[in-house]
Amino acid sequence: MQALSDTSLEIASGEFIALIGPSGCGKSTLLRLAASLDTPTSGQVRVNGAAPDVLARQHRLGVAFQEHALLPWLTVERNIALPFQLAGLAVKPARIAELIQLVGLKGFEKARPKQLSGGMRQRVAIARSLVLEPSLLLMDEPFGALDAVTRRQMNIELQRIWQQTGVTTIFVTHDVGEALFLADRVVVLSARPGRVVEDIRVPFDRPRGAEIMRSSRFHELSDYLTDLLHPAEATHV
């Protein structure tokens, strides 16, 4: 079954791109192609001019998914250190300490996942994805399992983390508001086989506070993007 069709997407270094679209439209497939986990049957994928597996072999690819996949028997700092060990590199305690500070987990270095809330576990997963200083960060519904209040707080935290790191990010979400709050651009895919039906630049300055979600322009864009997911009911802005 074909996942994507006539899909072309270019992302500048340092951009934060959100992908939205109906379930099964190929959002996660795009991430898997960028991560060299899948190979396109036609066309090509390039990251910094090279095939994605080059980036993966250089350990310059960070990944965070909805399931945090922390090892329950390891502490926070040892979970974050895991990519060093898997890459055969020397662990850098200073880098781990820096990221624990960045994601707001100072004081929880020795805690194990069962001692953390869902949001805290996702903070660990984000820190782990950044520990090798990736050139590209891929995030697939990282906050999808969190309650609404925690999810909003994590959106604010991720914006802060991204602004401090500047890493090029592709973020898959089903939440239109989340996409508008976080991204520089929101890319909308059609139903399977997925293709780009809209690519809008988000007009809000950074940093963005929660109050932006209450603005009329935010709601206009949210309605517009939501309508694109249901084209029979589409409106225009």
Among 122, 191, 115, 187, residue whose Cα is nearest residue 151: 122
Averaged confidence pLDDT in the chain: 89
* Residue 45: pLDDT band with limits 50, 70, 90: confident
Among 235, 206, 175, residue whose Cα is nearest residue 19: 175
Among 181, 197, 199, 200, residue whose Cα is nearest residue 234: 197
Calpha distance 130→98 (Å, rounded): 11
Class of domain 1-60+138-237: alpha beta
Calpha distance 148→211 (Å, rounded): 16
Give the residue with greater pLDDT, 42 vs 120.
Answer: 120
Confidence (pLDDT) at 24: 75
Give the residue with greater pLDDT, 98 vs 233.
Answer: 98
Confidence (pLDDT) at 235: 46
Confidence (pLDDT) at 236: 47
Global pTM value: 0.91
Average pLDDT on 212-226 reads 95
Report which listed range, 16-25, 58-67, 220-229, is most confident.
220-229
Structure tokens at 233: 């009911």
In this predicted structure, which of 46-55, 111-120, 140-149, 179-188 has the lowest mean pLDDT? 46-55
Helix (H) or strand (E) segment spanning residue 165: helix 148-165
Average pLDDT on 164-172 reads 94
- Domain spans of the chain, in order of start: 1-60+138-237, 70-133
Confidence (pLDDT) at 1: 62
Confidence (pLDDT) at 52: 81
pLDDT above 70 covers what percent of the chain?
95
Other CB atoms within 10 Å distance of the CB of residue 11 = 17
Among 205, 199, 208, 198, residue whose Cα is nearest residue 178: 208
Asked if the model's pLDDT at residue 111 lies above 80, the reply is yes
Average pLDDT on 201-218 reads 94
**CA angle 236-201-205, nearest 5°?**
115
Asked if the model's pLDDT at residue 217 lies above 90, the reply is yes
Calpha distance 120→105 (Å, rounded): 8
